[in-house]
Amino acid sequence: MTGRLAIVGIGPGSPEQVTPEARAAVENAEAVFGYGPYLDRLDIPAERKNPSDNREELSRAESALTRAAAGQNIAMVSGGDPGVFAMAAAICEAVEHGPTQWREIDIETVPGVTAMLAVAARAGAPLGHDFCAISLSDNLKPWEVVERRLAAAASAGFVIALYNPISRARPWQLGRAFELIATILPASTPVIFGRAAGRSDERIETVRLDKAEAGMADMATCVIIGSPETRIVERPGRTPLVYTPRFFPEAAR
Amino acid sequence: MTGRLAIVGIGPGSPEQVTPEARAAVENAEAVFGYGPYLDRLDIPAERKNPSDNREELSRAESALTRAAAGQNIAMVSGGDPGVFAMAAAICEAVEHGPTQWREIDIETVPGVTAMLAVAARAGAPLGHDFCAISLSDNLKPWEVVERRLAAAASAGFVIALYNPISRARPWQLGRAFELIATILPASTPVIFGRAAGRSDERIETVRLDKAEAGMADMATCVIIGSPETRIVERPGRTPLVYTPRFFPEAAR
């Protein structure tokens, strides 16, 4: 008998940003797997929660698939959206390399509001035109690949959202990324540090690229680096609006 | 007296993918502006709806800001997320170039599930690693810029999500994009055509790059082009899982 595995995005943090579909998937599951702090957000009985540590994605995926293959209705939660640097890829990877019967499991992914969208919403519209999302973690890819992608994106005029910008084990990568990008983009390019968007401890800060420092971010921060087109609209008594226009300056309007 | 303008993402289409925050913002507004088909999705009295046409973003933004500046509580809706190729940037643009008092309006953006996340969720985890989002519309930027960004993204190993892939007024751009990318990526690269994800008329189709044709997309389609790392996991009796691994093949595992 084959069960079900829902891979569920619970959004950036506020319960008001959890979709009804995600809420139902969590409530209907017999057991819910995920990184501890994400499970802490859920209002379900403790005995259904199966927390695990941050760096255990693959073993967490395998545990959930094993239970689903045995016929249970399982949910796996990710903060934000599960498809963006999160559990959906780990589950697919486990299915590819796991026992054949895992391919028979009814797997459904429930999308959510990913961090860069929540941070962008607080700042204005920095992702209003072409943009990219890069994980700054070099745990699973060589740092040269990260640098090549940063340089390609900045040179081609993409706004850049950085996920996993910094951690105790990866203290220097974000500073190096700012240095690299400063060789390509103007010093005045806006850089947004967005932490805990939509939560009570939210902190959104915008600085110029030449004032951006790695120490302004932590593990829970999403960093958005503007393109040469990104603009700042000052407002009296309000935070400025940071936005990237829909049009390119040379295009006919 | 200054009012309020909420710029609200109502998700890709299913009411189950509208966040409680978005629902409340729409319900609390005295008047709701937006592209007609998006307003059609909302269960609010018809007299509060202020529909406009697809290509009228800036005048729609100005109308909403005028009403908010007069003290009203206004909502502006976008499908998906309002910060991704949608109304948030148009509002910021209107504020920058509009009367000073528009800068006093309480503007709040409510994020939503953007199309590429909903399509990716249906396909597996194609956005599981570094990716970018490009609008294929050359109404507001030169086509050369689009081509440069496509080439840069494909060459650097980003998965590419294409928004606004085709329309009656822009019939050839998507085919040209496939041709260009075929000179850079393997013929076997998976290409996902995702239409109306989460709605009753949903259609998700994955083909090889050398079989991808512009005619497989319409205005409401989000196209996701894999990277050289994107993989397909076949499943008996189920659609395959298309995913981009979290790791880079050369990295230590």
Contacts of B215 (CB under 8 A, 6+ apart): none
- Residue indicated by tokens 């991808």: B212
- For chain B, the average pLDDT equals 95
Residues of chain B positioned with their CB less than 8 A from the CB of A91? 125
- Residue B5 and residue B63 in contact, taking contact as beta carbons nearer than 8 Å: no
Question: If you write DSSP's letter for every residue of chain A in order, what string do you get?
Answer: ---EEEEEE-BSS-GGGS-HHHHHHHHH-SEEEEEHHHHHT--S-GGGEEEE-TT-HHHHHHHHHHHHHTT-EEEEEESB-TTSSSHHHHHHHHHHHS-GGGGGSEEEEE----HHHHHHHHHEETTSSSEEEEE---SSS-HHHHHHHHHHHHHTT-EEEEES--BTTB-SHHHHHHHHHHTTS-TT-EEEEEESTTSTT-EEEEEEGGG--GGG--TTEEEEE--TT-EEEEETTEEEEEE--SS-TTS--
Which pLDDT belongs to residue B252? 41
Q: Position A182: which residue type? A: A
By the CB < 8 Å criterion, does A11 face chain B? yes
Cross-chain CB nearest to A130 (options B134, B238, B245): B134
Are A91 and B18 within 8 A, CB to CB?
no
Answer whether A19 sits within 8 Å of B21, measured CB to CB.
Answer: no
Q: Which residues pair with A9 in a beta bridge?
A: A78
Instruction: Identify the DSSP state of B245.
Output: -
Looking at the complex, does the CB of residue A17 fall below 8 Å from at least one CB of chain B? yes
- Put simply, the answer to whether B84 touches A117 (Cβ < 8 Å) is yes
Compute how many other C-beta atoms are within 10 angstroms of the C-beta atom of residue B218: 15
Alpha carbon distance A53, B88 (integer Å): 37
Choose the closest CB to A235 out of B93, B103, B141.
B103
What is d(CA A139, CA A146) in angstroms, rounded to the nearest whole number? 11
* pLDDT tens figures, B11-60: 999 999 999 999 999 999 999 999 999 999 999 999 999 999 877 899 99
Residue A248 has pLDDT above 80, yes or no: no
Tell which A residues from 23 to 62 touch B, by Cβ distance under 8 Å: 24, 57
- Contact assignment for B149 to A157 by CB distance below 8 Å: yes
Nearest Cα neighbor of A80 from A167, A164, A137, A4 is A164
Residue B101 has pLDDT above 80, yes or no: yes
| Residues in chain B closer than 8 A to A9 (CB atoms) | 117
- What value does the mean pLDDT take over residues A162-177? 95
Nearest to B140 among A127, A234, A247 (CB): A247
Nearest CA in chain B to A23: B16
Per-residue confidence band for A250, with pLDDT thresholds at 50, 70 and 90: low
Domain spanning B116-243: which CATH class is it, in words?
alpha beta
The pLDDT assigned to B1 comes to 66
Q: In the predicted model, what is the mean pLDDT of chain A?
A: 95
Tokens of B117: 């996340």
Contact B153 A155 (CB under 8 A): no
Mean pLDDT of B221-249: 94
Distance from CA of B216 to the nearest CA of A (A): 23
CA distance to partner chain A, nearest, from residue B109 (Å)? 5
Nearest by CB to A140, from B15, B103, B251: name it. B251
Q: Distance (Å, rounded) from C-alpha A131 to C-alpha B133? A: 5
pLDDT band at B251 (very low <50, low <70, confident <90, very high): very low
Task: Mark yes or no for CB contact A149/B130 under 8 Å.
Answer: yes
Distance CA A216, CA B241 (A): 38
Task: For chain A, say whether B112 makes contact (Cβ under 8 Å).
Answer: yes
Closest CA to B245 of A140, A204, A192, A228: A140
With CA atoms as reference, report the closest residue to B115 among B106, B127, B104.
B127
Q: How far apart are CA B40 and CA B34, in angstroms?
A: 10
pLDDT interval class at B139 (50, 70, 90): confident
- The answer to whether A152 touches B155, Cβ cutoff 8 Å, is yes
The string of pLDDT tens digits covering residues B64-87 is 999 999 999 999 999 999 999 999
Mode of pairing for the β-strands spanning A124-125 and A190-195 = unpaired
Residue B103 to residue A130, Cβ atoms within 8 A: no
Superfamily of domain A4-113 in the CATH hierarchy: Tetrapyrrole methylase, N-terminal domain (3.40.1010.10)
Buried b (16+ CB within 10 A) or exposed e, A81-98: bbbbbbbbbbbbbbbbeb
A48 vs A139: which has the higher pLDDT? A48
**In the predicted structure, residue B201 carries a pLDDT above the cut 50:** yes
Distance (Å) from the alpha carbon of A211 to chain B's nearest alpha carbon: 24
Contacts of A138 in chain B (CB under 8 A): 251
List A residues 69-88 in contact with B (Cβ-Cβ < 8 A): 81-86, 88
Residue A40 has pLDDT above 90, yes or no: yes
What are the angstrom distances between the C-alpha of A144 and each of A83, B128, B223, B251, B253? 24, 19, 28, 11, 16
Sign of the Cα torsion B157, B87, B7, B112 reads negative
B18: chain A residues, CB-CB within 8 Å: 19-20
With CA atoms as reference, report the closest residue to B189 among B214, B165, B206: B206
The two domains A4-113 and A116-243 share their CATH topology (first three levels equal): no
* Residue A251 reports pLDDT greater than 50: no
| B144 part of contact set with chain A, CB < 8 Å | no
pTM as predicted: 0.97
pLDDT of res. B247: 82
Nearest to A155 among B84, B106, B152 (CB): B152
**Is the model's pLDDT at A249 over the cut of 70?**
no
Surface of A (176-215) touching B: CB under 8 A: none
The ranges assigned to domains in chain A are: 4-113, 116-243
- pLDDT cut 70: percent of chain A above it: 98
Tens of pLDDT, residue by residue over A50-105, are 999 877 899 999 999 999 999 999 999 999 999 999 999 999 999 999 999 999 99
State how far the Cα of B63 lies from the Cα of A99, in Å rounded to an integer.
Answer: 58
Whole-number Å distance between alpha carbons of B220 and B200: 14
d(CA B163, CA B251): 31
What is the distance between the alpha carbons of residues A101 and A106, in angstroms, rounded to a whole number? 11
On whether the CB atoms of residues B153 and B132 are closer than 8 A, the answer is yes
Q: Which of A117, A146, A159 to mutate to test the interface with B (most CBs of B within 10 A)?
A: A117
